Amino acid sequence: MGYSLWSLARNARTHHENWPKAWRSPEPKPAYDVVIVGGGGHGLATAYYLAKEHGIANVAVLERGWLGGGNAGRNTTVVRSNYLRDESAALYEMSLKLFEGLSAELNYNVMLSQRGLYMLCHNAHEVQDAHRRAHAMRLNGIDSVFVPRADLARHIPIIETSPHIRYPVLGALLQRRGGVARHDAVAWGFARAADARGVDIVQNCEVIGLRREGARVTGVETTRGTIGAKKVALVAAGHSSVLADMAGLRLPVRSMALQALVSEPVKPVLNCVINSMTVHVYVSQSDKGELVMGAGMDKFHSYGQRGSVSVVEDQVAALLELFPVLGRLRMLRQWAGIVDVCPDASPIVCKAPIAGLYVNCGWGTGGFKATPGSGFVFAHTIAREEPHPLVQRYSLDRFAGGDLVDEHAASGIAH
């Protein structure tokens, strides 16, 4: 059923108790054309575009927990495309453009709010780099502008602009089309739209092994039995190495616990997204009034979805350095998600060197903004058996070729 003002009014009459389920929860079939492992945003988007763009709807998305319980529902919802290199700019900009049409495309309000994203500069080097990035972005047709310190106080009244702090704010790289979107809605919207096209979404179904015939992957073993598949696509974010290991495939990713926290709700004080790599915090204010912040990561490998208190301490110290006015703010809750970090902070989207197997991982600390784009290019790669032109360079081979796409500076997180 389509969502509209009319359906809202109609359901209001029955006290909103008769809304149909947004997606079915079918028993898994014995076999599918494509089995997608991982029901996060990227897996669900892949399923949607497989059905929509390539007419492949005999697809299952297998999720070991509940839909959106991974990073899809744990991220801090920042979307942007302020990347330096042409390959990254093209990929993330395509994704941002998809985001701009996503609510209409999915008939689901993803609450995209392009409120502007500032990446702060605290030293001469960062200022130079921001100018370079602003030019590179404009050459790639992406909006960007350098905001000098004098103007920043006007844009962001609560920011500390004193030249006497340890890392004075010297200016910022601004992408006006950057902002935030509702992360759950992106996962739910893709789930509902994929389901409507015939995709089976199976939750509580952990993949525990891969079935192989000869050199080919022919299905998956799961906690709900064996499921055959002509093609198996791994989109498991922080658990990518665990799944790749089932195929004897080695990946260059490290699983790390990235943390976030939110404050109690307060009146509107911040109408944009602020990111500082040097003081090391990023923050935005949700529609409910909570300040949502992140950037801290435990320094060791982790699959424990919690994150240490010491990281919270650093995070809050950084926040107060930039916004002393928030000194009395209380924090409500904290959480972590397991992100898959690549050596060059760029993703891997490709056919695996094993027939029937496809891999999409390595989005690390910044894959939410790429959710629609990642699904779009991965669906193409799976359906056509060849990389989508935008991810030609994002193969696993790039590590052997030494052709890395270093985007640490654009990742927004020191790691």
Ligand X SMILES: Cc1cc2nc3c(=O)[nH]c(=O)nc-3n(C[C@H](O)[C@H](O)[C@H](O)COP(=O)(O)OP(=O)(O)OC[C@H]3O[C@@H](n4cnc5c(N)ncnc54)[C@H](O)[C@@H]3O)c2cc1C
When asked if residue 71 is in the footprint of ligand X (CB under 6 A), the reply is yes
- E strand or H helix at 105: helix 102-106
The binding site for other proteins (CB under 8 A) comprises 27, 64-66, 69, 203-204, 206, 208, 221-225, 239, 241-242, 245, 250-255, 299-306, 308-310, 343, 399-402
Interface residue with ligand X, options 33, 206, 298, 314 (CB under 6 A): 206
Of 238 and 356, nearer to ligand X (C-beta) is 238
Q: Confirm or reject binding of residue 40 to ligand X (CB under 6 A).
A: yes
Q: How far apart are CA 402 and CA 126, in angstroms?
A: 26
Query: Contact letters (x/-) for ligand X, 313-342, by CB under 6 A?
Result: ------------------------x-x---
Contact of 217 with 247, CB cutoff 8 Å? yes
| Tokens, residue 83 | 């990347």
CB of 360 to ligand X, least distance (A): 8
38 binds ligand X (CB under 6 A): yes
When the beta carbons of 74 and 398 are compared against ligand X, the nearer one is: 74
Contacts of 175 (CB under 8 A, 6+ apart): 80, 81, 82, 116, 117, 137, 142, 143, 144
Closest C-alpha to 46, from 315, 317, 378, 292 = 378
Least Cα distance to 272 among 398, 200, 165, 174 occurs for 174
Contact (Cβ atoms closer than 8 angstroms) between residue 318 and residue 281: yes
Cβ neighbours of 9 (radius 10 Å): 9
Cβ closer to ligand X: 76 or 276? 76
Query: Is 165 in contact with 317 (CB distance < 8 Å)?
Result: no
- Using CA atoms, how far residue 281 sits from 28, 120, 151, 286, in Å, is 43, 10, 21, 16
From other proteins, ligand X, none, which one binds at residue 253 (CB under 5 to 8 Å depending on kind)? other proteins
Determine if 69 is a binding residue for ligand X (CB under 6 A).
yes
Contact segment (CB under 6 A) with ligand X among 47-55, 70-78, 159-167, 382-390 equals 70-78
| Cα–Cα distance measured from residue 257 to residue 304, given in angstroms and rounded to the nearest whole number | 7
Q: Is 243 in the site for ligand X (CB under 6 A)?
A: yes
Quick one: which of 276, 285, 346, 365 contacts ligand X (CB under 6 A)? 365
State the CB neighbour count (10 A cutoff) for residue 23.
21
d(CA 380, CA 242) in angstroms, rounded, equals 25
Binding at 72: pick from ligand X, other proteins, none (beta carbon under 5-8 Å per type): ligand X
**Residue 76 interacting with ligand X (CB under 6 A):** yes
Residue 51 sits in the site that holds ligand X (CB under 6 A): no
User: Rounded CA gap, 182 and 73, in Å?
Assistant: 9
User: What's the Cα-to-Cα distance from 342 to each of 173, 240, 345, rounded to whole Å?
Assistant: 25, 11, 5
308 binds, among ligand X, other proteins, none (CB under 5 to 8 A by kind): other proteins
Give the number of other Cβ atoms within 10 Å of residue 123's Cβ. Answer: 12
- Nearest approach in angstroms of CB 304 to other proteins is 5
- Angstrom CA distances, 77 to 36, 104, 191, 266, 386, stand at 23, 19, 18, 19, 30
Binding of ligand X by 270 (CB under 6 A)? no
Residue closer to ligand X, measured from CB, 71 or 103: 71
337 is in the binding site of which of other proteins, ligand X, none (Cβ under 5 to 8 A by kind)?
ligand X
* Residues 281-310 close enough to bind ligand X by CB under 6 A: 294
Provide the minimum distance between the beta carbon of 400 and other proteins in the complex, in angstroms, as a whole number. 4
Please identify, among the stretches 66-74, 82-90, 209-217, 318-326, the one whose residues bind ligand X according to the rule CB under 6 A. Answer: 66-74
> What residues line the site for ligand X (CB under 6 A)?
37-43, 62-65, 69-72, 74-78, 206-207, 235-239, 243, 258-260, 294, 337, 339, 363, 365-369
